[in-house]
Amino acid sequence: MLKIFGLRKTYAGGVRALNGIDLEIPAGMFGLLGPNGAGKTTLMKILATLLDPDEGTAAMDGIDLIGDKAATRRMLGYLPQDFGLYPTLTAEQMLDYLARLKGINNARERRAHLDALLERVNLSSERKQKLGAYSGGMRQRFGIAQALLGSPRLIIVDEPTAGLDLEERIRFHNLLSEIAADVVVILSTHIVSDVSNLCDQMAVIRRGEIIASCSPSDALDRLTGRVWEAVVARDRAAQLKSQLAIVSSQMTAGRVKLRAIADTCPDEGFAPAAPTLEDYYFSLVNHQGGLK
């Protein structure tokens, strides 16, 4: 169990990135959802020992993640949103280099570990290919391989599927699901479907504050009977957006499909709709107060 209490961070110039973050994160896949600029990456960097908070604590398995950086790094696997690769090195060479930095010094043990990791992320056949020639999906799979070096107990992945095509996203989802059996995996993303497909628990962050924490199924239960949908003309859509809690709008055949949150039918032409996690998320981040 990872326990976070009272984390605060304000950058130079007065930009407040985190405003008192409290979270308890159990083993398994945990989704941290939030729009760009919500504070996700700041929180991930603090947990990954790359940034110090102004206040607050974070601890896991008796280790102070803020105060004991050396012990934290031994238990940590981290895949940041943008991670650097040496383009002239092969996957095998760079993974070997990173394994040495991780403290895996026995050559035979290191070779067996690297072989297993490359097989796990389906890069064995490309192990001698230079990283500069890797596709986006291959780079992300390599990123997971390096995050798994040393069998970490806490794994942090920040926006891992941004820019991937559908096939690579599915492959990446399957890989993350396999990893999360016995360790804490934090998936930081703005892509709601990633959390819906992968995570047992989730939290939503907005403007540096946690505004909801629950399971995806609990989130859907809170919206049962409260989601309504209508297809209307453009001029009426503009009027309804100013009057109702509209969570999404989509053009369809020259008209606008609206989804709204309301305890009763919000207007003529609306019909009940099955709730989605996107409805829950957008109701929180787009409307003051949200649905806690």
Res 101: pLDDT: 86
Q: How many CB atoms lie within 10 A of CB 165?
A: 12
**Closest C-alpha to 236, from 222, 214, 254, 220:** 254
CB 196 within 8 A of CB 216: yes
Res 292: pLDDT: 45
Task: Give one DSSP letter per residue of 42-93, joined into a string.
Answer: HHHHHHTTSS--SEEEEEETTEETTT-HHHHHHSEEEE-SS----TTSBHHH
Strands 28-33 and 201-206: parallel
CB 125 within 8 A of CB 106: no
Res 181: pLDDT: 75
**Closest C-alpha to 261, from 276, 251, 252:** 276
Q: Where are the domains of the chain?
A: 2-214, 225-274
Q: How many CB atoms lie within 10 A of CB 231?
A: 15
**Homologous superfamily of 2-214:** P-loop containing nucleotide triphosphate hydrolases (3.40.50.300)
CB 20 within 8 A of CB 11: no
Res 135: pLDDT: 87
Res 291: pLDDT: 54
The stretches in the chain having pLDDT less than 70 are 287-292
What's the rounded Cα separation, in Å, for the pair 284 and 292?
8
CB 43 within 8 A of CB 215: no
Residue 195's Cα: distance from chain center in Å?
7
Through-space distance between the first and last CA atoms of the chain, rounded to whole angstroms? 23
What's the rounded Cα separation, in Å, for the pair 111 and 95?
10
- The burial of 93, by beta-carbon neighbours within 10 Å (0-12 exposed, 13-18 middle, 19 or more buried), is given as middle
pLDDT digits (tens, 9 = 90+) for 261-272: 999 999 999 999
Unique residue bearing structure tokens 């609990």: 218
Res 290: pLDDT: 46
CB 149 within 8 A of CB 98: yes
Residue 232's Cα: distance from chain center in Å?
34
What's the rounded Cα separation, in Å, for the pair 5 and 100?
34
CB environment 249-259: b (16+ within 10 A), e (fewer): beeeeeebebb
